[in-house]
Amino acid sequence: NAGVTQTPKFQVLKTGQSMTLQCAQDMNHEYMSWYRQDPGMGLRLIHYSVGAGITDQGEVPNGYNVSRSTTEDFPLRLLSAAPSQTSVYFCASSYDYRDNEKLFFGSGTQLSVL
Amino acid sequence: SQQGEEDPQALSIQEGENATMNCSYKTSINNLQWYRQNSGRGLVHLILIRSNEREKHSGRLRVTLDTSKKSSSLLITASRAADTASYFCATAPSGNTPLVFGKGTRLSVIA
At residue A30, the pLDDT reads 93
**B10 in contact with chain A, both atoms CB, cutoff 8 A:** no
Q: Please answer yes or no on whether A108 and B41 come within 8 Å at the CB atom.
A: yes
Q: Is the dihedral of CA A83, A63, A76, A55 positive or negative?
A: positive
At residue B38, the pLDDT reads 95
CA distance A99 to B97: 9
At residue B97, the pLDDT reads 81
CA distance B35 to chain A (A): 9
A69 pLDDT exceeds 70? yes
CA distance B30 to A107: 27
CA distance A98 to A95: 9
A104 pLDDT exceeds 80? yes
Q: B42, exposed or middle or buried, with CB in 10 Å at 0-12, 13-18, 19+?
A: buried
Q: For the segment A25-67, what is each residue's pLDDT rounded down to a tens digit?
A: 999 999 999 999 998 788 999 999 999 999 999 999 999 999 9
**B42 in contact with chain A, both atoms CB, cutoff 8 A:** yes
From B41, B70, B67, select the one nearest B54 (Cα to Cα): B67
At residue A49, the pLDDT reads 96
From B29, B30, B33, B15, select the one nearest B83 (Cα to Cα): B15
Question: Which of B21, B50, B99, B103 is the mutation pick for testing A, counting most A CBs within 10 A?
Answer: B99
Report, as ranges of residue numbers, the positions in chain B whose pLDDT lies below 50: 1
> Other C-beta atoms within 10 Å of A2: how many?
9
At residue A19, the pLDDT reads 96
Between A101 and A89, the more confident residue is A89
Helix (H) or strand (E) holding B12: strand B10-14
Residue A93 — very low, low, confident or very high, per pLDDT cuts 50/70/90? very high
The answer to whether residues B92 and B98 touch, using CB atoms and an 8 Å cutoff, is yes
Q: For the segment B38-66, what is each residue's pLDDT rounded down to a tens digit?
A: 998 999 999 999 999 999 999 999 999 99
A98 pLDDT exceeds 80? no
At residue B95, the pLDDT reads 64
Three-state DSSP state, B70: coil
**B52 in contact with chain A, both atoms CB, cutoff 8 A:** no
At residue A103, the pLDDT reads 94
Q: What is the DSSP letter of A15?
A: T
Q: For the segment A6-26, what is each residue's pLDDT rounded down to a tens digit?
A: 999 999 999 999 999 999 999
Average pLDDT over residues A72-98: 94
A41 CB neighbours in chain B (<8 A) are 103
Average pLDDT over residues A83-108: 91
Average pLDDT over residues A94-98: 83
CA count, 13 A, side-chain hemisphere, B74:
32
Amino acid at A11: Q
At residue B24, the pLDDT reads 95
